[in-house]
Chain A
Amino acid sequence: MTIKIGIPRSLLFYNFIPFWKTFFEGIGAEVVTSGRTNKAILQDGLRLSVDEACLPVKVAFGHVEHLKDRADYIFIPRLVSVFPREYICPKFLGFPDMVRQNVRGLPGVIDTSINMYRRERDLYGQFFEIGSRICGNPFKIALAIKKAGEEMKRFTARVESGLRPDRAYGPGSPEETPDRRKNATVAVLGHPYNIYDSFINISLLKRLEDAGINVLTTDNVPEKEVNYYVSSLNKKLFWTLGRRMVGAAYHFLESPGISGIIHVASFACGPDSMTGELIERRARRTGDKPYLSLTLDEHTGEAGIVTRIEAFLDMVGMNRQSARC
């Protein structure tokens, strides 16, 4: 019988699923993922977590709860660092501990630390350790890691070419490549688990696309570009997602093709309170692009979001018109 590995569709799922899935399948396991976030998942998450946790963490609790009976192992790695000298966020570091204390009836838990703080190649040993728990054949594990790395590279290239991560994985259809000539392009900045989870952001991306807007996100900005822009900061940012957001924001602020910027953050997000401030202050100093800041939590209502998006798009439209005159 093949071992089933449950991967919750939450937190860094959208960033690393190609790697994780290829790896686990490479060592002969079957991967099951939780479905897209829905009301039941959110409700369970709210019940299991403390009020003070941010929305993505609450949602992640819900995904774990919905996955625990369908898998032999649940994969919630301790995401310490996915880039040398940088962290994710304290809540990611403590997530496995929080889950163990609050979710009852867990199957096996794979919570090996993913820690590339010292150097990137430490990742190899960490995945080897994970692999050894499931598969006895070291060659197979090594091969699986190699294949996963290649898959990840392909995925990153596709995302950096402008595809959305939730579309770039798997057989992406060519007509989804955005056509930037005709319509306005809006940049959506935010953590991947907020902008690609259409339930918690109330279909933000779809609403924009339905309005005929091309959307680019933080993830579409190549690493090189990000690093070029953040090098102007007085101090290196020590959060990977924060650094990427600030770099992408500065890049978008200077790109003439971008007609507006939407910043999406979860209520009470720690890193975003700092990086969001850097971005907003820069945007205000530059001052020529409409800027919308959306804060998400479990009480976010559809009507409010829709009104704000409409107002924002009106501003984008007006700006473009006055530019044409």
Chain B
Amino acid sequence: MKVTFPHMGNLWICLDAMLQYLGIETVVPPPSSKKTLNLGSKHSPEFACMPLKLNLGNFMEASERGADTIVMAGGCGPCRFGYYAQVEHIILEDLGYKYSLVVMEPPEKHISELLSRIRYITGNKPWMEVIRGIKFGYRKARAVDRLEMAAMRKRPLEKRAGQTDTALTEALSIIAGSAYGKLDDAIARASEIMDQIPVDRKPVLKIGLVGEIYTLLEPFANLDIERKLGRLGVEVDRSIYLSEWVNDHLFMGLIKGLRSSSLYIKSSAPYMRHFVGGHGQETLGAAVYYNKKGYDGIIQVLPFTCMPEIVAQSILPGFSRDTGMPVMTLIVDEQTGESGYLTRLEAFVDLLAEKGARKEELA
């Protein structure tokens, strides 16, 4: 059995760690690229959202490297993601791929359904080992998130353009390559690399990224928005990090002290009074949160046709009107062109800078 899984940013680092710890052979698909997206879009339903198309492309490329089993997450709606795995599997079947599919999702009838699926992957490893593997994966996720946060803080301040990204790549590969038991050491080394990036001291603009989880976490999907903004001199924060998501949804908030989506849901109240699936309500809540934190602007990122985010998108202008917070929505799909995208980012950042300067003049 050679197990593969879809890409979502650096998710592969933690999944790969977990599976390898349990002695399972993994095939990490090649990083999502134009080719992945072309492959995926060619065979996906036209109006499927972009993550599905990229997933499909990932699976097709992983198959070339010998993968025969897919591990996917699922859900119970109303966001389409809950039915991704099944539709992707049917498409792969029609294309002649021989994949077996294991979907980790809330069971329909009994918890034993989920447990037996985990067993299918882990074989007869003791449950304690499985838990240890999950913990190992989670710790890597947390470490990766910390590095990314450091990079987002440093990018606008770096002395020489590109230094942060070089350091980040190196730090990430240290985390990805570290074996069980050596992780503490690796984390220390990685954060040291990030600390050593030479920076200037200067005021920066702050933008909060909100929106759909996949497009926020996957740099290929959001056309590297964090890096682009960083180079424009903007400090970025995003409303969702992998480890926070895992803690919220898989560990049921077991680990304390992490920012949690329940915070967002509470603050979304005046604008959205009900969940709408996906991260729609969190998007609104995060916007309110960033406003309170004194950010200069908010950018919403979503894949074309994303239903929960369209609801949020319809409500964000009202929020912007009430608070005076500049909000821009960027929609991505296989048609998105890089230069148009960059122009919009530059214009938005200019607008924020001007607004900030005017505020200072008045003060």
Contact = CB atoms under 8 A, between A and B. Distances in A.
Provide the main secondary structure of the chain A interface: mixed
Given A238-B78, A277-B91, A101 B314 contact: yes
A233 interface: yes
A238 B311 contact: no
A93 B271 CA distance: 13
Interface stretch (A45-53, A127-135, A136-144): A45-53
Nearest to A242: B83
A118 B42 CA distance: 39
B48 A274 contact: yes
B314 A53 contact: yes
Interface string B52-92: 00000000000000000000001011111011011101110
Interface stretch (A68-76, A189-197, A262-270): A262-270
A101 B83 contact: no
A231 interface: no
Interface in A95-134: 96-98, 101-102, 113
Interface stretch (B218-226, B234-242, B246-254, B273-281): B273-281
A53 B276 CA distance: 14
Interface of B: 45-49, 74, 76-80, 82-83, 85-87, 89-91, 94, 103, 108, 271-278, 280, 304-308, 310-315, 317-318, 331
B310 A235 contact: no
A276 B45 contact: yes
Kindly name the residue among B80, B276, B314, B317 whose own CB sees the greatest number of chain A CB atoms within 10 A.
B314
B49 A270 contact: yes
Contacts of B94: 281
30 contacts: A50-B314, A52-B305, A52-B331, A53-B310, A87-B77, A87-B78, A90-B276, A90-B278, A91-B307, A91-B310, A93-B78, A93-B274, A94-B272, A94-B276, A94-B312, A96-B273, A97-B274, A98-B311, A98-B314, A101-B315, A113-B274, A233-B86, A235-B86, A239-B77, A269-B305, A270-B305, A273-B46, A274-B45, A278-B87, A281-B91
B47 A50 contact: no
B315 A97 contact: yes
Contact of B79 (A90, A96, A233, A267): A90
Which bucket holds chain A's interface residue count?
A: 35 or more
